């Protein structure tokens, strides 16, 4: 084999490996897990395939809910951040006050235990595993019409797969609703 031919084969293999790496990492998506959690300050109801988790609209109050993020694989991921809003901070509807996680693996079931939750830092989630995440948000002091509400269906998740940073909106598997039965005008 000539030197030129060896270089051509090596270059072709390098391009194929790079394309495979990018395809594997860019195509890797997270999904909602099989469980969620809420405290006694919320009601849940299911109509057909949709579940709604409803909190009362009381401006300035804190509400905490839990959702699990599932890594369907085939690669492990490192979750580096979670938020409920994308975009500029001054346009966020909900302010996150606290993010915490319960660690789960093949030996333990996905458990939502607020007392054992730890602040969210970079955390590795193996292929096929879920990460239970607690999110505490503050209900904003905004005008609301009677019977209206604020909704949230997914979490914005920053993660790395095979060293490549990724960002994705991951469905929670339920709709979070902050409902204003009587309306509200800030005063």
* Ranges of the chain with pLDDT below 50: none
The pTM of the full predicted model, rounded to 2 decimals, is 0.81
pLDDT value, residue 57: 93
In a domain, 24, yes or no: no
pLDDT value, residue 86: 77
Cis peptide before 74 (omega within 30 of 0): yes
In a domain, 159, yes or no: yes
In a domain, 87, yes or no: yes
Q: Which residue in 131, 157, 119 sits closest to 71, CA to CA?
A: 131
- CATH code of residue 126: 2.60.40
In a domain, 9, yes or no: no
In a domain, 6, yes or no: no
pLDDT value, residue 12: 74
Number of folded domains that form the chain = 1
Q: Which residue in 138, 62, 74, 68 sits closest to 103, CA to CA?
A: 68
pLDDT value, residue 34: 83
Domain of 63, in residue numbers = 29-180
In a domain, 7, yes or no: no
In a domain, 148, yes or no: yes
* pLDDT tens digits along 125-153: 999 999 999 999 999 998 999 999 999 99
CB-based burial of residue 139 (10 Å sphere; 0-12 exposed, 13-18 middle, 19+ buried)? buried
Residues 150 and 133 sit within 8 Å (Cβ to Cβ): no
Q: What is the SS3 assignment for 30?
A: coil
* pLDDT tens digits along 160-180: 999 999 999 999 999 999 999
Residues 105 and 126 sit within 8 Å (Cβ to Cβ): yes
In a domain, 115, yes or no: yes
């Amino acid at each position: 084999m000539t030197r030129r031919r060896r270089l051509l084969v090596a270059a072709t293999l390098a391009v194929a490996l790079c394309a495979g790496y990018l395809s594997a990492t860019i195509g890797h998506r997270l999904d909602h897990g099989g469980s969620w959690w809420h405290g006694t300050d919320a009601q849940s109801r299911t109509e057909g395939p949709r579940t709604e988790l409803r909190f009362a609209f009381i401006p300035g109050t804190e509400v905490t809910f839990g959702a699990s993020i599932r890594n369907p694989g085939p690669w492990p991921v490192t979750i580096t951040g979670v938020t409920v809003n994308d975009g500029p901070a001054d346009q966020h509807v909900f302010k996150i006050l606290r993010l915490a996680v319960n660690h789960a693996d093949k030996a333990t079931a996905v458990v939502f235990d607020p007392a054992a939750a730890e602040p969210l830092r970079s955390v590795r989630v193996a292929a096929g595993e879920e990460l239970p995440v607690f999110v505490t948000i503050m209900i904003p002091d905004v005008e609301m019409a009677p019977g209206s509400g604020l909704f949230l269906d997914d979490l914005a998740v920053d993660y790395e797969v095979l060293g490549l940073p990724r960002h994705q909106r991951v469905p929670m598997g339920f709709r979070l609703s902050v409902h204003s039965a009587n309306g509200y005008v800030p005063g």
